[in-house]
Amino acid sequence: MITEYLRQVRSVFVSLRLTVVLIALSIVLVFWATLDQVHLGVWGVQQKFFHSFLVYQGLGELRIPVYPGGYLIGGLLLVNLLSAHLYRFKAGWRKSGIWIAHAGLVLLLLGELASGLPIKQGAWMGRLKCEQIDLVLRTQLPATHRKAEGELGYQPRPLDETLRDTCVWMKTQGWL
């Protein structure tokens, strides 16, 4: 009885149907994240959709999980790929191309997981002081905004105002 149950669990994880469902879920996740980028920006979308196990939607004060996140989909894809290789694929020179391609996918998924999980938002910044930010931003760089001014009508804010607002915002985020 237990062996029959384990056989059923194994058949789910090695299933090509699971692979197709997970890829379809990831396509919807990427599409939804792309649309939400307007409201959250690139980093906000990355945190909400891809660096999470579940995507939550706010309903007043309540946060409800509404969709699997990138870590859950990617983790299940990784388990599916490794299970299929252990159970179905046979080692040999004739199959070396698929082994190399799948080894690259495994490395990609594990690398994203290892680099994304332990990072707390803003941890890379450490403890900065507003004077350090001011020094970095006032350094003469070879970049210019002249083309954006001419073609798009862009008008930058005064640097002092921008630095002051940045420091206030960073304090509210707990980064200073």
Q: Are residues 48 and 129 in the same domain?
A: no
Q: Is the model's pTM score more than 0.85?
A: no
Q: Are residues 46 and 28 in the same domain?
A: yes
| Domain with 142 in it | 124-172
Q: Which of 114, 70, 83, 63 is nearest to 16 (CA)?
A: 83
Given a cut of 60, is residue 59 above it in pLDDT?
A: yes
Contact between residue 176 and residue 130 where contact means Cβ atoms under 8 Å apart? yes
Q: Are residues 32 and 64 in the same domain?
A: yes
* Residues 86-115 pLDDT 10s: 887 777 788 788 888 888 888 888 887 777
Check residue 133 and give its pLDDT.
60
DSSP per-residue string spanning 135-169: HHHHS--S---HHHHHHH---PPPHHHHHHHHHHH
Q: Are residues 103 and 131 in the same domain?
A: no
Q: Are residues 114 and 128 in the same domain?
A: no
Task: Identify the residue with better confidence: 127 or 147.
Answer: 147
Check residue 134 and give its pLDDT.
58
Q: Are residues 95 and 160 in the same domain?
A: no
Q: What Cα–Cα distance (Å) separates residue 108 from each residue in 24, 47, 77, 113?
A: 19, 18, 12, 9
Q: Are residues 15 and 50 in the same domain?
A: yes
Q: What domain count does the chain have?
A: 2
Share of the chain above pLDDT 70, in %: 84
Per the DSSP assignment, residues forming a β-bridge with 62 are 59
Q: Place 137 in a pLDDT band, splitting at 50, 70 and 90.
A: low
CA pair distance 39, 46, nearest whole angstrom: 12
